[in-house]
Amino acid sequence: MTDEPAVDAGAEAKRSGHPRHDLAPLLNAPVRLSVVAALAPLDKADFGFVRDLVEVSDSVLSKQVAALEEAGWVQVTKGRVGRRPRTWVSLTGEGRAVYQRHLAALRAIALG
């Protein structure tokens, strides 16, 4: 017999919380999740590249990027390449951290 108290798995789970609590509600929208996932491995991406990758219209992407920007999770930079206007989108440090937590929570939920 040991002096250590028995560990109740249910009590342990309640203390640490269900992984769903680490999900970011803003990323429940498939397009926003797709945008963040597309940006995760990149420093920045051209708006048109993200639009084509995620397969949405300019207006849909613009609306979703605006929501992510308002949350502080993406940064939008405008500039020119030659005479052509360009828009680049990148994840902020906070956005990258939120995405990693969200992804880890999804994995934890899926693995039970």
pLDDT tens sequence across 32-68: 999 999 999 999 999 999 999 999 999 999 999 999 9
CATH topology of domain 20-111: Arc Repressor Mutant, subunit A (1.10.10)
* DSSP for residue 71: T
Output b/e per residue, 41-53; b: 16+ Cβ within 10 A: eeeebebeebbee
106 vs 52: CA distance, rounded Å: 25
This prediction's pTM: 0.82
Q: What is the mean pLDDT of residues 58-82?
A: 97
CB count within 10 Å of CB 16 equals 9
User: What is the pLDDT at residue 43?
Assistant: 97
Domain ranges of the chain: 20-111
